[in-house]
């Protein structure tokens, strides 16, 4: 399986199916690909309504026909915008599709408002997600602060944990390393940093701190992939 960092919090997970998580490409200064490169995905996961996560979901869903996974409120919003293939879930829920690909939504401490022109739309509770594919479990934390609930994720036998480290809106380096120690993934990778000045962080510091706590971690630069 291959995980490609598309920059910010956007990840492409490629195994027997293609899953893109939080596809913020347009306006993402770290993006190395075009939106059209994602028109062949099978699933799109949206962790919350903020524009740097909802991103190009509408465009990609329209062109790919991919199934969009998100909470009930964002699902309703997308459906109202003409996206038919939405699969609504909520925190704590797990669903396995007929092709064997599974998703479980997890708690995130954050917000989820959707900005639509001049309107602010209620986007429900923000989530993290575990993607189950090809006997692997990939955890994408979305945007979140550190929470004790992350200790429950250790039972999910996470292979890779994708964790925000940029601070201000989410965990910083130190809190993200602590989160990794709660989750106990085989590999932790930092995200959601250095996209904007307010979330500047040093990813190598995260790797160092995670390793100090006994967790294997590595930096994956925007545009780069890791094979697991």
- Tell me which residues touch Mn ion (CB under 5 A): 52, 143
Which one of Mn ion, Ni ion, none interacts with residue 56, CB within 5 to 8 A by kind?
none
Looking at the Cβ atoms of 108 and 150, the one nearer to Ni ion is: 108
Residue 22 within binding range of Ni ion, rule CB under 5 A: no
Residue 143 within binding range of Ni ion, rule CB under 5 A: yes
Distance in Å, CB of 10 to Ni ion, minimum: 13
Residues comprising the chain, all counted: 228
Question: How many CB atoms within 10 Å of residue 67?
Answer: 20
Looking at the Cβ atoms of 14 and 143, the one nearer to Mn ion is: 143
Q: What is the DSSP string of 69-98?
A: EEEHHHHHHHHHTT---EEEE-TT-EEE-T
Residue (of 143, 97, 103, 153) closest to 123 by Cα position: 143
d(CA 50, CA 92): 21
Q: What are phi and psi of 195, to 5 degrees?
A: -75, -40
Residue 18 within binding range of Ni ion, rule CB under 5 A: no
User: Which of 8, 18, 50, 184 is the binder for Ni ion (CB under 5 A)?
Assistant: 50
Which one of Ni ion, Mn ion, none interacts with residue 22, CB within 5 to 8 A by kind?
none
Interstrand relation of 127-133 and 119-121 (parallel, antiparallel or unpaired): unpaired
Residue (of 126, 125, 130) closest to 154 by Cα position: 130
Which one of Mn ion, Ni ion, none interacts with residue 73, CB within 5 to 8 A by kind?
none
Cβ distance 181 to 215 under 8 Å? yes
Looking at the Cβ atoms of 110 and 184, the one nearer to Ni ion is: 110
Looking at the Cβ atoms of 17 and 192, the one nearer to Mn ion is: 192
- Only one of the segments 8-16, 65-73, 79-87, 139-147 lies at the binding site for Ni ion (rule: CB under 5 A); that segment is 139-147
CA–CA–CA angle 58, 76, 50 (5° rounding): 55
d(CA 214, CA 177): 10
Looking at the Cβ atoms of 109 and 213, the one nearer to Ni ion is: 109
- Only one of the segments 30-38, 44-52, 177-185, 202-210 lies at the binding site for Ni ion (rule: CB under 5 A); that segment is 44-52
d(CA 39, CA 164): 26
Site for Ni ion in 150-189 (CB under 5 A): none
Q: 156 pairs with which residues across the strands?
A: none
Distance in Å, CB of 192 to Ni ion, minimum: 8
Looking at the Cβ atoms of 70 and 184, the one nearer to Mn ion is: 70
Distance in Å, CB of 192 to Mn ion, minimum: 6
**Residues found near Ni ion in the complex (CB under 5 A):** 50, 143
């Amino acid at each position: 399986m291959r995980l490609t960092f598309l920059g910010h919090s956007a990840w492409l997970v490629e195994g027997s199916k293609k899953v893109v998580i939080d596809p913020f490409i347009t306006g993402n200064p770290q993006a190395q690909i075009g939106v059209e490169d994602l028109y062949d995905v099978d699933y799109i996961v949206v962790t919350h309504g903020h524009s740097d996560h909802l991103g190009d979901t509408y465009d990609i869903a329209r062109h790919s026909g991919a199934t969009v996974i998100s909470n009930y409120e964002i699902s309703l919003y997308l459906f109202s915008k003409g996206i038919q293939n939405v699969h609504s879930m909520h925190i704590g829920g797990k669903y396995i599709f007929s092709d064997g690909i599974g998703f479980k939504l997890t708690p995130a401490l954050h917000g989820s408002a959707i900005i639509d022109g001049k309107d602010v739309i209620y986007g429900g509770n923000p989530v993290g997600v575990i993607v189950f594919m090809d006997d692997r479990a990939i955890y994408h934390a979305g945007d979140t602060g550190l929470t004790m609930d992350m200790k429950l994720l250790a039972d999910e036998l996470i292979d890779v944990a994708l964790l925000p480290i940029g601070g201000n809106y989410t965990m910083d380096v130190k809190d993200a390393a602590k989160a990794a120690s709660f989750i106990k993934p085989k590999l932790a990778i930092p995200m959601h940093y250095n996209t904007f000045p307010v979330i500047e962080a040093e990813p190598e510091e995260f790797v160092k701190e995670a390793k100090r706590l006994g967790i294997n971690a590595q930096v994956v630069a925007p545009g780069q992939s890791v094979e697991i």
